[in-house]
């Protein structure tokens, strides 16, 4: 007890140093005890998760795995999409629309090719991807489950990536169903497999960009309908700006062609995939996901 009481004469400096070291050790031990977190209030536990040493320095947090926590969020979103009628409605409507545009060219015009289908593909995604992504973050905010996620040992970037990859996985599944189109064309004659493969890669990259834009739109509001309108508006702006490029001067046209993701998409439809086009589209995805991450972090601290 002399450690915390009045030190004997002549040993004041030594006892003060020993007291300081002992308190520091006890503090580190207390922070490392799992039972301490159960005695905290929700607000203090959230603050510890967000800013405390346990979040950034505890090796057990990293042992859980960055991707394993993201995969848990992906599975949660996937179950939500599968268990609700909205997911089936979006999937059926997309496949019906895609089948119509493919069959129109094949049966009515007698042209057994996929280029026209991929030309209209960006327009289809403009309407369907916002519907898939509108509830990703907006619904979490409206229902109050975002506050629950904030108390868990999961970072904002993991939340964004989990939501993003879940929506992108739905798009990949829908794209997988359209593989029946080139397979049916292969039974009618020879097809350019390389060009079709490049077109599917272009479609996947464009879908990844659209999904990132819509995740960002969903991070701006609590209302899913407003998120849909925002995502649709942003994608329409990108599409209409690319379509209106011929109305501008040649210098502006060149700038728009360089900056437009649709021009990169059209370039890959020719069957040649340039590394610069891939990097550009992935960089746009990263920019919008970073903006969504910023919105979540801003909400946590306000």
pLDDT, tens digit, 9 for 90 and up, residues 215-234: 999 999 989 999 999 999 99
CA distance 87 to 258: 35
Where in the sequence is the domain holding 243, given as residue range(s)?
Answer: 66-300
When divided into structural domains, the chain yields a total of 1
Residue 50, in any domain of the structure: no
206 domain-assigned: yes
Q: Is 140 contained in some domain?
A: yes
DSSP 245: G
Residue 83 or residue 147, greater confidence: 83
**Residues listed for the chain:** 302
**Backbone dihedral angles phi then psi of residue 287, each to the nearest 5 degrees:** -65, -45
pTM: 0.74
Looking at the domain assignment, is residue 32 inside a domain? no
* 148-207 tens-digit pLDDT: 666 666 777 888 898 899 999 999 999 999 999 988 888 877 788 888 999 999 999 999
Is 34 a domain residue?
Answer: no
The pLDDT of residue 155: 78
Look at residue 192 and tell me if it is in a domain: yes
Residue 55 lies in a domain: no
Do the Cβ atoms of 134 and 228 come closer than 8 Å? yes
Instruction: Give the span between the Cα atoms of 40 and 184, in whole angstroms.
Output: 61
Is position 61 within any domain?
A: no
pLDDT band for 26, please (50, 70, 90 cuts): very low
């Amino acid at each position: 007890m002399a450690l915390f009481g009045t030190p004997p004469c002549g040993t004041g400096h030594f006892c003060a140093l020993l007291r300081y070291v002992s308190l520091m050790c006890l503090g580190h031990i207390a922070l490392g005890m799992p039972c301490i977190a159960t005695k905290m209030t929700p607000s203090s536990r959230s603050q510890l998760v967000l800013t405390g040493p346990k979040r950034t320095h505890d090796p057990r947090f990293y042992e859980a795995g960055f991707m394993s926590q993201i995969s848990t969020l992906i599975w949660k979103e996937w179950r939500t999409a599968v268990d609700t009628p909205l997911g089936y409605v979006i999937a059926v409507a997309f496949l019906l629309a895609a089948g119509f545009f493919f069959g129109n060219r094949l049966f009515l015009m007698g042209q057994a090719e996929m280029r026209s289908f991929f030309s209209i593909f960006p327009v289809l995604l403009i309407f369907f991807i916002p519907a898939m992504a509108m509830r990703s973050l907006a619904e979490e905010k409206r229902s109050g489950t975002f506050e629950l996620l904030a108390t868990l040992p999961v970072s904002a970037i993991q939340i964004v990536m989990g939501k993003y990859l879940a929506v992108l996985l739905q798009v990949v599944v829908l794209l997988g169903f359209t593989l029946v189109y080139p397979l049916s064309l292969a039974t009618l004659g020879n097809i350019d497999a390389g060009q079709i493969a490049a077109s599917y890669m272009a479609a996947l990259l464009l879908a990844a960009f659209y999904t990132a834009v819509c995740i960002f739109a969903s991070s701006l509001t609590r209302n899913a309908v407003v998120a849909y309108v925002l995502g649709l508006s942003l994608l329409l702006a990108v599409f209409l700006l690319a379509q209106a490029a011929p109305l501008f001067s040649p210098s502006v046209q060149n700038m728009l062609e360089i900056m437009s993701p649709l021009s990169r998409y059209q370039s890959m439809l020719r069957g040649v995939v340039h590394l610069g086009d891939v990097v550009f589209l992935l960089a746009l995805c990263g920019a919008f996901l970073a903006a969504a991450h910023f919105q979540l972090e801003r909400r946590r601290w306000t």
